[in-house]
Amino acid sequence: MKTDPLSEHHVLVQGLSTSYFDEGTGPVLLLVHGNVTTYRSWQRIVEEFRTTHRVLALSLPGYGGTSPQEKAGLDNQVAFLGAFLDALSVDEAIVLGHSAGGLIAATFALEHPGRVTRLVLSDSAGLGRAVSPLLIFGSLPPDWVIDLVTAALVLPGGGVPRALVSGLQLRRPWLVSFREWRDQIRLTQARTLLSTSFRLARLGVGPAGQRRRYRIDDRLGELSMPTLVIWGLTDEVFPIWQGVRAAGKIPRGRLAVLMSAGHVGYLDSHVEFVDVLSPFVRDEPTAPSVVDGGGQS
Angle in degrees, CA 265, 209, 291, rounded to 5: 30
| Residue 206, in any domain of the structure | yes
Residue 288 confidence (pLDDT):
46
Residue 187 confidence (pLDDT):
61
Digitized pLDDT (tens) for each residue of the chain, 297 residues in all:
456 678 899 999 999 999 999 999 999 999 999 987 889 889 999 999 999 999 999 999 988 778 888 887 899 999 999 999 999 999 999 999 999 999 999 999 999 999 999 999 999 999 999 999 888 887 776 665 666 655 555 544 444 444 445 555 555 554 556 565 556 556 655 667 777 777 888 889 999 999 999 999 999 999 999 999 999 999 989 999 999 999 999 999 999 999 989 898 998 899 999 999 999 999 876 544 455 565 443
Residue 141 confidence (pLDDT):
64
| Residue 233, in any domain of the structure | yes
| Residue 76, in any domain of the structure | yes
In this structure, what CATH number is given to the domain that contains residue 98? 3.40.50.1820
d(CA 290, CA 201): 30
| Residue 1, in any domain of the structure | no
Phi, psi angle pair for 109, to nearest 5°: -65, -35
Range of the domain at 286: 8-292
Residue 155 confidence (pLDDT):
45
Residue 70 confidence (pLDDT):
80
Residue 134 confidence (pLDDT):
82
| Residue 131, in any domain of the structure | yes
| Residue 2, in any domain of the structure | no
| Residue 62, in any domain of the structure | yes
| Residue 3, in any domain of the structure | no
- Cα separation of the two ends of the chain: 19
Our count of domains for the chain comes to 1
